[in-house]
Amino acid sequence: MPVIRALFIIDVQNDFTEGGALGVEGGEAVAAGITRYLAEHPHRYDQVFASRDWHDADNDNGGHFATTNAPDFVTTWPVHCVAGTIGADYHASLNTSAVTVGVRKGQGRPAYSIFEGVTDEGEPLTQRLVDLGVEEIDVVGIATDYCVLASALDAVATGRMVRVLDDLVAGVAPVSSALALEQLAAAGVQVERSS
């Protein structure tokens, strides 16, 4: 039987790309790169999951938003990716036509890993992976040192084969992004180019 392979596109949203509330350098290039990659390999993936931070507007999302003190950019952050706002939308350079499963995370609480989210239909991600028979996962998106890291670590912990495509990710900072890729490799994630 053929192996069922999925692509995880992590948080390629306006607020995480240049000009956004928490924009990272290279975010727009990652959005365009993922679009190009999917166009060049239309049959590589059986399923394409795309996650979005989808935070509540009327609370601090479990302390995730810095509302009384300045953000520390470790556990507290400026307001970002509020549900239904332009900042929470996918970046325009990301063609989402190949996306088969949308995932929303951070609804009222901190959430970094795609596994902390639910599908747009409200189903836990782990259950959807089981239902679809997904055995291998490639991970791309933003940010290397936070949500990509957390998502790939959780994916490999499920016992699946996991790759991070390091030319299709962008991080908050170069040092922490390099350390994140080292941590992923040590955990058994394959870190390689998309080509």
Query: How many CA atoms are closer than 13 Å to the CA of 120, on its beta-carbon side?
Result: 9
DSSP 45: -
Question: 81, 105, 138, 145: which one is catalytic?
Answer: 105
Tell me the three-class secondary structure of 35-68, residue by residue: HHHHHHCCCCCCEEEEEEECECCCCCCCCCECCC
Residue the block writes with tokens 């890993």: 113
CA-to-CA distance for 47 and 6, rounded, in angstroms? Answer: 5
Active site residue 53: no
Q: Is 154 assigned a catalytic role?
A: no
Among residues 60, 128, 141, the alpha carbon closest in space to that of 94 is found at: 141
- Annotated catalytic residue: which of 11, 15, 53, 138? 11
Q: Is 81 a catalytic residue?
A: no
Which residues are CB-neighbours of 66 under 8 A, at least 6 positions away? 60, 72, 76, 77, 78
Which residues carry out catalysis? 11, 105, 147
